[in-house]
Amino acid sequence: MKNEDNLIDLEQSKLKRIRNAKYRRSDHGFLLWLVIVVIILATILYFILDMAKIKDVIVSGNQHYTDEQVMAMIDVGEGSNAVDVFFL
């Protein structure tokens, strides 16, 4: 009887360890998805709000063109979005 009880206890302890391991893995997965969602939302908010808007344009280091000519060439002004300027 003792051997059977020991086997049952061993199997139950193995099952508990397996269940606990599954819960630990799923917690990490949830945390990872939560961090990814927060980063995506923060990025979207950054570009929607005025933080990504260009406030000042300073032209320097030009030798062959005037400041006005450079401004006309780059087609960037105050209120332009930084993403449009650098990536599009």
CA distance 14 to 11: 5
- Over residues 11-54, the pLDDT tens digits come to 777 777 777 666 555 567 788 889 999 999 998 888 777 777 77
87 within 8 A of 64, measured Cβ to Cβ: no
Structural domain that includes position 80: 53-88
The pLDDT score that the predictor gives to residue 25 is: 57
Mark whether 2 and 38 lie in a shared domain: yes
Tell me the pTM: 0.43
Task: State yes or no: pLDDT of 88 exceeds 80.
Answer: no
Mark whether 36 and 60 lie in a shared domain: no
Q: What six digits make up the tokens of 10? A: 């061993």
- Over residues 45-82, the pLDDT tens digits come to 887 777 777 777 788 888 899 888 888 887 776 777 77
The pLDDT score that the predictor gives to residue 86 is: 65
83 within 8 A of 52, measured Cβ to Cβ: yes
Mark whether 1 and 39 lie in a shared domain: yes
Mark whether 30 and 73 lie in a shared domain: no
Mark whether 7 and 41 lie in a shared domain: yes
Mark whether 7 and 37 lie in a shared domain: yes
Total count of residues recorded for the chain: 88
